[in-house]
Amino acid sequence: MVRMGIVGVGQFGQNHARILSECKECQFMGLYDRDRKRAREISDRLQVHMYPDFDSLLNEIDALAVVVTTISHYELARKALEKGIHVFVEKPITAELWEAEELNELAGKLNLKLQVGHIERFNPVVLQIEDKIKDPIFVECHRIAPFTPRGSDVPVVLELMIHDIDLILAFIKSELIEIRASGAGVMTKSIDIANARLEFSNGAVANVTASRISQKRSRKLRFFQKDAYFSLDFQAKRVKYIKKSPNISKVLPKLLKGKYDEISQEDVVDILDLDVSESAKDALTLELESFIRSIETDSKPVVDGYAGIRALKVALAIVEKIRKI
């Protein structure tokens, strides 16, 4: 059984620690956080071991979850990989592209698993329709949230937008050829609101907006393809799947004659409205279990280092475009 440990048990890391402490697929060895008071609080709450330093943790585990500020990802993940430890690192994979490439190269060289925490790949909302999305031609994403200090050490593109960038790159199987972007810093010296237009060689286009200065919280994504439309609401945990009805040919003569009052919506489209709020497992649990499974079966992680690099590369390009405005 894989012996797991975690470094970083802040606001988000505590959720990883809780799930790992309850996980039957691994042996959770314990946690480390440089904030000893915080580490003690979480270890007492979960009744798990608290390590006095990072090296002590590394000496007793096979795999590590890195859930710290982005600027520390490279240093901690590299140290773990060099000790022969598989690494799950939260998104973005690193702050700099060269760091991500180096970690991925090191993991490959040592035959270790490196998985990046692009959690939306495991969201039940996405899992419901991922096999139905075929060659989308237009994607629209809105991910907005009220301001909090957490995550503000990086631009909103790396904090929030990168989730949607990863999903877009996963579903549009084509070369990205053009990036247009705009944005601004409002609450911080960094970028707090951003919009990007991504154009692909097959003609597909994605319009992505992210903000951490909104009055409300919303996470919505829409895929349009030739025969269907998908509307994903991550907040409400619902997905709507609208596709052309197989019976449309029966009312085609009326459509051509403009007799719209004789045609119902059911004649033209089929609508499937799914509620996934009662899913047995949440996205974070599925994500961590997937990482553990990739180690046990020696298989490629769903979101490997290459995927993390690809998303980071686009995110950094968007940041650079905005900073040049």
Which domains, ranges and CATH numbers included, belong to the chain? 2-118+283-303 (3.40.50.720), 122-280+313-323 (3.30.360.10)
Residue ranges of alpha helices (H) inside the chain are 13-22, 36-46, 54-58, 73-82, 97-109, 124-129, 156, 162-171, 248-256, 265-268, 283-296, 305-323
Q: Distance between CA 78 and CA 275 in Å, rounded?
A: 40
Contact at 8 Å (CB) between 147 and 203?
A: no
**What pLDDT score was predicted for residue 277?**
83
**What pLDDT score was predicted for residue 148?**
82
Q: Distance between CA 21 and CA 3 in Å, rounded?
A: 11
Q: Distance between CA 219 and CA 62 in Å, rounded?
A: 35
- φ and ψ of 285, to 5 deg: -65, -45
**What pLDDT score was predicted for residue 133?**
93
Q: How far is CA 254 from CA 226, 244, 248, 270, 312, in A?
A: 22, 16, 10, 18, 50
**What pLDDT score was predicted for residue 112?**
98
Give 26's strand partners: 2
Residues ≥6 apart with Cβ < 8 Å to 233: 125, 219, 220, 239
Strand order from edge to edge, sheet including 2-7: 26-32, 2-7, 63-66, 86-90, 114-117
pLDDT tens for 186-234 read 988 899 999 999 999 999 999 999 999 999 999 999 999 998 999 999 9
DSSP 261: G
Q: Could you give the 3-state DSSP secondary structure of residue 51?
A: coil
Nearest in space to 73 (alpha carbons), one of 37, 97, 40:
97
pLDDT < 50 positions in the chain = none
**What pLDDT score was predicted for residue 259?**
64
- Helices 13-22 and 283-296, axial angle in degrees (round to 10): 60
Contact at 8 Å (CB) between 65 and 33?
A: no
Overall size of the chain counted in residues: 325
**What pLDDT score was predicted for residue 208?**
98
**What pLDDT score was predicted for residue 160?**
95
